[in-house]
Amino acid sequence: MRLENVLAVTGGRLLNAPSISRFGTIALKLKKVTRGTLFIARSPEEIPAAIAKGAYGVIIDQTVIPKDKEIAWIRVDDITSTLPKLLRLWLMVNPRKFLFVPKQVMEFLYHISFDPSLLLLKGHSEQMSAQIFASGKNQRILCSNARFLEHIGLDIETIEAEPIPAEIVSHTLFETSLIINERYYERLPLVPCMTEYLRKAIGVLQKLNTPFTLSHLGYTPSFEPFFVNKRGKQLDFGESDRVVIFADSDLHCSCFQGFEKVRWTSCSLIIPTHIKFTCDIKLPKNLYGSVDQLAQLMLTELKRPGYRILIGTESSHFFHIMERLGVIDDYHATKGLF
């Protein structure tokens, strides 16, 4: 990438007259800096280490005085708004193959082992940008964030893959035993209604001719149960008669209908007022409009055993809120329950 193009795209101001005129690649993290890199610095303290590793240029949105006159020092107004512009420029020089995958399918792909020919983008925009900058030219990049792809100027190409056949042998509310590709998987941490998304994830890999291994499945954020005590503290699987379930609002209604048949304990839905929940589920519904209301509601609900289904709330966000408000003494997320 030529220096003049970086300046034109970002609207940045060159703080010196460097001897270099082009960059090999872009990096957001020091560990990714190599000779010829244009380094995006979040603080002036990172710059000396980047220069020592061979950076040819630095972009920063803070006041700095150029110390190495050979490299390019570029000042921009805001790194966050500059990043998509740089990414678009980088992709013009380093084209990549992007494929859109629905969120629930992507969550299962995170749990499946396969070779590095595929790159799964994850995290917020800056984290995904860093992954792209570090990607290989032959990697195919899968992303479930359509807004991010549009923001960096990409046409969205969705990979259409049929779910592979699978036979459900047995299941409970939170476990499923099934046969896939003539192999038996016993008591997977898999809610039965989520089996379709797992089958679609495998279908994606098969369509892309990517070998895979189902070595370590776990619950996905779209439908994630946690066993807790009456104060909301997380316990090991099966160690409590109180279960908090985090569910996406756009899941198929069948994911919630199974709880209508539960007779051994109480079940209820907990829904924020800003979410439109359209499933006609015959369970008590509790609405809340603020974080404080959610905390108080959960304290009341968890006084008695039962299943509490939180619609449109992520588990990590919920537990950190409860901890911050002093409802939970400590928070520890158990990953990979099986």
DSSP class of 280? -
> What is the Cα–Cα distance from 278 to 276, expressed in whole angstroms?
6
Q: What is the CATH number of domain 3-92?
A: 3.40.1390.10
Please give, one letter per residue, the 3-state secondary structure of 116-152.
Answer: CCEEECCCCHHHHHHHHHCCCCCCEEEECCHHHHHHC
With CA atoms as reference, report the closest residue to 36 among 16, 22, 19.
Answer: 22
Q: Confidence class of residue 337 from pLDDT cuts 50, 70 and 90?
A: very low
Indicate if the pLDDT at residue 139 is higher than 50.
yes
- Out of 222-236, 291-305, 321-335, pick the least confident: 321-335
The whole-angstrom separation of Cα 306 and Cα 214 is 32
CB 96 within 8 A of CB 135: yes
Is the confidence at residue 243, as pLDDT, over 50?
yes
| SS3 state of residue 28 | coil
14: part of which helix (H) or strand (E)? Answer: strand 13-14
Q: How confident is the model at residue 329 (pLDDT cuts 50, 70, 90)?
A: low
Q: How confident is the model at residue 70 (pLDDT cuts 50, 70, 90)?
A: very high
Domain boundaries, the chain: 3-92, 95-151, 166-213, 223-324
Residue 254's DSSP bridge partners are none
- In the predicted model, what is the mean pLDDT of the chain? 91
Kindly report, residue by residue over 201-214, the tens digit of the pLDDT: 999 999 999 998 88
**pLDDT for the residue 338:** 30
CB-based contact 194:220 (threshold 8 Å): yes
CA distance 251 to 10: 40
pLDDT digits (tens, 9 = 90+) for 285-310: 999 999 889 988 998 999 999 999 99
Residue 112 CA to residue 132 CA, distance in Å, equals 20
Mean pLDDT of 126-152: 95
Please report the DSSP string for 18-87 in residue order. -S--B-SEEESSGGG--TTEEEE-SSGGGHHHHHHTT-SEEEESS------TTSEEEE-S-HHHHHHHHH
What is the mean predicted confidence (pLDDT) over 146-175? 92
Does the structure show a pLDDT above 80 at 136?
Answer: yes
What tokens appear for 289 in the block?
A: 């409009």
- Helices 125-133 and 79-93 meet at what angle, rounded to 10? 30
CA distances to 104, 118, 126 from 98, rounded to whole Å, are 18, 10, 17
Q: Calculate ∠ Cα 158-163-166, nearest 5°.
A: 165
Q: Do 327 and 302 contact (CB within 8 A), yes or no?
A: no
Torsion of CA 177, 180, 185, 190, to 10 degrees: -50
Q: How many CB atoms lie within 10 A of CB 18?
A: 18
Residues 276, 293: Cα–Cα separation, whole Å? 18
Is the pLDDT assigned to residue 327 strictly greater than 80?
Answer: no
Per-residue pLDDT, 333: 47
β-pairing verdict for 183-188 and 306-311? unpaired
Across 283-293, b (16+ Cβ under 10 Å) vs e yields beebebeeeee
- Report pLDDT for 331: 46
Number of C-alpha atoms within 13 angstroms, CB side, residue 192?
A: 15
Q: Average pLDDT of 263-289?
A: 94
